């Protein structure tokens, strides 16, 4: 069974689940998952994990993300983007570029967002968008997010285009609405492209057609999601011990989690280092991926 990660360029009009289903059929494999849901109307980077690599999805879940978004002034919708029903509209005075840049800069740092009703967050076992489709509106608690960078790309009569780098859990639809309020305008997100998830970039992503044409070459090694972790090469005996779930002694690296490889440079999995006295440490298996799976 093949294992690895595919940097998919999700097209607009498909859900993230649709992409997973497509990859599952294309590779004839059951174990498929993805990191970071994209709205159906959005496009961009969607890392898809197949085979044993699905066990590593959690190590990309907390990665920051980058987007290019288009914001349109003058109205609001029930979904927060231009696919929803207009819930409010009013004339606006076109903000000056300096006002727009100041408003964007004001979001840098820690912020609070109220998740939109049209989201997959569960309350009392039900997804918010299911309640929204039934005409229900429930109270949602604010969530902390972090905006690391945000910059104006273009501005026009009806809206702006901006780039943003943010923490997981950030709703760009809500950010667009909040930017509008900061500028004393109603606003919705009218287009969204995710340009990065962790170190997976838009420039290197593949369309579904490109993936279908080169199935084998489209799959990156499972350890490509762990570029931020230090690595260690184990002896044959150490590799066998780790694969059997036993801890081994190693030199202290100062890192919590470590990528482990055998003498053939085959990725074994992830270990956790526990420091001991005298410069020694214990390496305990955390996630083991069987070679060749």
DSSP one-letter string for 173-189: HHHHHHHHHHTTS-EEE
- Burial code (b: 16+ CB inside 10 Å, e: under 16) for 226-256 equals beebeebebeeebbebbbeeeebebeeeeee
Tokens 């940097």 locate to: 7
- Ranges of each domain in the chain: 4-63+199-225, 65-192, 229-288
List the beta bridge partners of residue 280. Answer: 251
**Residue 253: is its pLDDT beyond 90?**
no
The mean pLDDT of 137-144, rounded to a whole number, is 80
Where does 65-192 sit in CATH, by number? 3.30.2350.10
| Confidence at residue 1, expressed as pLDDT on a 0 to 100 scale | 56
Where does 229-288 sit in CATH, by number? 2.30.130.10
Q: Phi, psi (5° rounding) for residue 218?
A: -75, -20
Q: Phi, psi (5° rounding) for residue 234?
A: -100, 150
Task: Report which of residues 201 and 131 the model is more confident about.
Answer: 201
Residues serving a catalytic function are 39
* Residue 215 token pair: 């199935």
Q: What is the mean pLDDT of the chain?
A: 90
Element (H, E) at 61: helix 58-61
Residue 50, number of CB atoms within 10 A of its CB = 24
Task: Note the pLDDT tens digit of each residue in 12-26.
Answer: 999 999 999 999 999
CA distances from 126 to 21, 103, 117 (A): 23, 35, 12
| Confidence at residue 149, expressed as pLDDT on a 0 to 100 scale | 98
Q: Determine whether 265 is exposed, middle or buried from the number of CB atoms within 10 Å of its CB (0-12, 13-18, 19+).
A: exposed
Element (H, E) at 18: helix 16-27
- Please give the share of the chain, as a percent, with pLDDT higher than 70: 90
Q: How far is CA 82 from the centre of its chain?
A: 22
| Confidence at residue 281, expressed as pLDDT on a 0 to 100 scale | 83
Q: For the chain, what's the residue count? A: 293
* Residue 203 token pair: 């420039």
Q: How far apart are CA 246 and CA 284, in angstroms?
A: 7
Handedness of CA 223, 224, 228, 231 (dihedral sign): positive
> Which one, of 166, 160, 168, 163, lies nearest residue 150 by Cα?
163
Write the CB contacts of 193 (distance below 8 Å, at least 6 apart in sequence).
42, 43, 44, 67, 68, 69, 202
Poorest-confidence range of 79-93, 129-143, 164-178, 235-249? 129-143
| Confidence at residue 293, expressed as pLDDT on a 0 to 100 scale | 36
65-192: same fold as 4-63+199-225? yes
| Confidence at residue 129, expressed as pLDDT on a 0 to 100 scale | 67
Task: Note the pLDDT tens digit of each residue in 1-55.
Answer: 589 999 999 999 999 999 999 999 999 999 999 998 898 999 999 999 999 999 9
- pLDDT band for position 237 (cuts 50, 70, 90): very high
> Which one, of 285, 289, 293, 233, lies nearest residue 263 by Cα?
233
The answer as to CATH 1.10.10.10 being correct for domain 4-63+199-225 is: no
Q: How far apart are CA 274 and CA 254, in angstroms?
A: 9
């Amino acid at each position: 069974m093949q294992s690895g990660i595919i940097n998919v360029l999700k097209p607009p009009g498909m859900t993230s689940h649709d992409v997973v289903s497509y990859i599952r059929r294309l590779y004839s494999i059951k174990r498929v998952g993805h990191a970071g849901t994209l709205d159906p109307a959005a496009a961009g980077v969607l890392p898809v994990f197949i085979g044993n690599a699905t066990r590593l999805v959690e190590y990309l879940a907390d990665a920051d993300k980058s987007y290019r978004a288009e914001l349109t002034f003058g109205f609001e919708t029930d979904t927060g983007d231009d696919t929803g029903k207009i819930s409010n509209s009013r004339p606006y005075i076109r903000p000056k570029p300096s006002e727009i840049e100041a408003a964007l800069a004001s979001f840098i740092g820690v912020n609070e967002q109220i998740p939109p009703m049209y989201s997959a967050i569960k309350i009392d076992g039900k997804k918010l968008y299911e309640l929204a489709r039934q005409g229900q509106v429930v109270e949602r608690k604010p969530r902390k997010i972090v905006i690391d960078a945000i910059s104006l790309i273009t501005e026009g009569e009806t809206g702006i285009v901006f780039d943003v780098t943010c923490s997981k859990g950030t709703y760009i639809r809500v950010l667009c609405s909040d930017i509008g309020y900061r500028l004393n305008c109603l606003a919705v997100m009218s287009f969204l492209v995710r340009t990065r998830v962790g170190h997976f970039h838009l420039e290197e992503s593949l369309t579904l057609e490109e993936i279908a044409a080169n199935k084998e070459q489209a799959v990156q090694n499972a350890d490509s999601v762990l570029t931020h972790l230090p690595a260690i090469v184990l002896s044959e005996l150490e590799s066998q011990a780790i694969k059997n779930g036993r801890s081994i002694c190693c030199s202290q690296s100062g890192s919590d989690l470590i990528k482990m490889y055998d003498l053939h440079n085959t990725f074994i999995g992830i270990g956790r280092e526990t420091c001991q006295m005298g410069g020694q440490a214990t390496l305990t298996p955390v996630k083991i991926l069987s070679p060749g799976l």
